[in-house]
Amino acid sequence: MTFTATLAKIADLAAQYPNNISLQCFDPIYFSTLPEADKKRLLQCLKSGIENPQSEMGCYACQPSDYDDFRPFFSKALAAYHKVSDTAKQVNDWSLAHVQGLPKGGVLDLSDLGLPALSMRVRVGRNLADFPLPAAMTQTQRVALETRMMAAFEVLMADPAYGGSYYSLTPGTPNTIDTQTYQDLVDAHLMFKDMSADSYLVSGGLAAHWPHGRGCYVSSDRRFIIWVGEEDHLRIMCMEHGTVLNQVFDRLKTALDVVSGIDGLSFATSQDYGFVTSCPTNLGTAMRASVHIPLPKLTADGTDSKAKAIAKPLGLSVRGAGGEHTPIGADGTVDISPSARFCITEAQIIAALYKGLAKLKAQEDSAV
Ligand code: ADP
Ligand code: DAR
């Protein structure tokens, strides 16, 4: 398709889909100033949102430098999604000592809110600086990245604090798992879903060459997990059943410091935007902190509609029990997490989860 035809298509879709942020923020005048190679790069970023006009964000970065190279576009798209200034800059900070209004000692204990032990999870996305982002990788690059990570996992496996195993989806490796093992890991919330079933990821190129270069490391206690080759090169997470959010938050920071120190692992960052991620919705901290919590009253109609309506003003997102784009659990269990990722610190995110749950519990308790 010619640039002229593409511009006409974008204009037509933008008129029909006002909620597609990328289509709304695309500026044909800015686009016209770009050299041809950069025109192609920017359109590759928008491919998912053009092919899936019902998207909310509508784009994925393809190169680690895209956010800086195409700042006139991305600064507007980030401002629109994250509801910040288009000159906003990210500050990263894991210290709860810098967050106001926390319980004594900064202990975020859900039992102090009258909540039972819940499944708690904190994850961050990270991308290696010397590879294209998942939207623009060749199969060879995907397998090369997995190979580099398999060497890094040997360091974790040799550490008694982690141990564990690596489960590869790439055909023909010593760590390749069968279909049943894969499904068991997905059902245990340890492995990511089939990316080739996600139209946004397929259109954007992030699911290309599935399942080559994909897999996950799981520690011996199954509480520290690293995905390889999902929406970002790495999704690094801690997960456990309990009431003290600090346990997963602090363990993730400790583990991240270990992983960051492993040879060959340099993460892509932007001076202004923090940790670089494929999706602008994750940029900055790339952190999602969640709990799985039963909300039987707010989901009494079998949907998450009422829960979403109440959670949104509290700055909380609601996902299904299987994660993004999945239904609520049988007992009304939903995945609750703060919506903000950018222009917020890591410490503020985990604090927002704790404070948001207090308000959400009050709404559940008072619901009829
Ligand atoms: P991400 O959180 O990485 O953006 P998803 O929302 O798709 O991706 O969730 C991925 C997997 O993590 C899903 O299996 C989901 O059920 C699981 N998950 C997310 N939060 C929790 C949690 N608090 N406890 C247990 N599993 C969780
Ligand atoms: N549906 C895509 C993704 C939005 C956020 N979710 C991610 N990154 N997993 C969109 O552009 O709306």
Q: Which domain holds residue 14?
A: 3-82
Residue 136 lies in a domain: no
Whether the ω angle into residue 35 lies within 30 degrees of 0, i.e. cis, is: no
Flag whether 173 is in a domain. no
Assigned domain for 218 exists: no
To the nearest 10 degrees (0 to 180), the angle between helices 3-16 and 36-51 is 40
The alpha helices in 84-194, defined as continuous H runs, are: 139-157, 179-187
Identify the pLDDT of residue 330.
87
CA count, 13 A, side-chain hemisphere, 99: 24
Other beta carbons less than 10 A from residue 99's beta carbon: 18
- Residue 284 inside a domain? The answer is no
Decide: 335 in ligand 1 pocket, CB within 6 A.
yes
The Cβ of residue 117 has, within 10 Å, a number of other Cβ atoms equal to 12
How far apart CA 357 and CA 366 sit, in angstroms, is 14
Helices (H) and strands (E) in the chain, counts: 12, 10
Taking alpha carbons only, the member of 166, 172, 122 closest to residue 148 is 166
Does the beta carbon of 223 sit less than 6 angstroms from any atom of ligand 1?
no
Residue 46 belongs to some domain of the structure: yes
Q: Does residue 366 lie in a domain region?
A: no
Q: Which ligand is nearest to the Cα of residue 288, counting in written order?
A: 1
How many angstroms separate the CA atoms of 120 and 99, rounded?
20
Atom 8 of ligand 2, nearest CA residue: 279
Q: Using only the alpha carbons of the chain, give its radius of gyration.
A: 21
Angle between the 139-157 and 245-260 helix axes, to the nearest 10 degrees? Answer: 110
Q: What is the pLDDT of residue 180?
A: 98
- The best mutation among 54, 203, 281, 282 to test binding of ligand 2, ranked by most ligand atoms within 8 Å of the C-beta, falls on 281
Q: How far apart are CA 183 and CA 84, in angstroms?
A: 39
Q: Which residue's alpha carbon is at the smallest distance from atom 8 of ligand 1?
A: 323
Nearest-atom number in ligand 2 for the CA of 22 is 11
In sequence order, what DSSP letters do the residues of 205-268 get, joined into one string? TTTTTTTTT-EEEE-TTS-EEEEESSSSSEEEEEEEEESBHHHHHHHHHHHHHHHHTSTT--B-
Q: Of 287, 123, 130, 278, give the one whose Cα is nearest residue 206.
A: 278
- List residues with catalytic annotation: 123, 231, 235, 279, 281, 288, 319, 324
Q: Is 290 in the pocket of ligand 1 (CB under 6 A)?
A: yes
Report yes or no: 350 and 96 within 8 Å, Cβ to Cβ. yes
Q: Give residue 289's pLDDT.
A: 98
Length of the chain: 368
Does any ligand 2 atom lie closer than 6 A to the CB of residue 58? yes
User: How many separate domains does the chain show?
Assistant: 1
What b/e string do you get for 227-265 counting C-beta neighbours within 10 Å, with b at 16 or more? bbbbbbbbbbbbbbeebbbbbbbbbbbebbeebeeeeeb
Burial 36-60 (b: 16+ CB within 10 A, else e): eeebebbbbbbbbbbebbebebbbb
The low-confidence residues of the chain, meaning pLDDT below 50, are none
CA 116 – ligand 1 centroid, Å? 19
Conformation bin of residue 347: beta by default, left when phi > 0, alpha when psi is -120 to 50: alpha
- Please check whether residue 119 is in contact with residue 243, taking contact to mean a CB–CB distance below 8 angstroms: no
Task: Indicate which CATH number applies to the domain containing 43.
Answer: 1.10.135.10
DSSP 151: H
- What is the Cα–Cα distance from 280 to 273, expressed in whole angstroms? 10
Tell me the CA–centroid distance for residue 346 and ligand 2, in Å: 21
250 found inside a domain: no
283 lines ligand 2 (CB under 6 A): no
DSSP 8-state symbol, 184: H
pLDDT tens digits, one per residue of 259-282 = 999 999 999 999 999 999 999 999
**φ/ψ (deg, to 5) at 197:** -95, 0
Ligand nearest, relative to CA of residue 21: 2
φ, ψ dihedrals at 70, nearest 5° = -115, 45
Residue 282 lies in a domain: no
User: Given this model, what pLDDT does residue 368 score?
Assistant: 87
Q: Could you tell me if the CB of 341 is within 6 A of ligand 1?
A: no
Cα separations (Å) of 214 from 22, 31, 37, 62, 317?
Answer: 28, 34, 29, 18, 27
Which residue's alpha carbon is nearest to atom 23 within ligand 1? 291
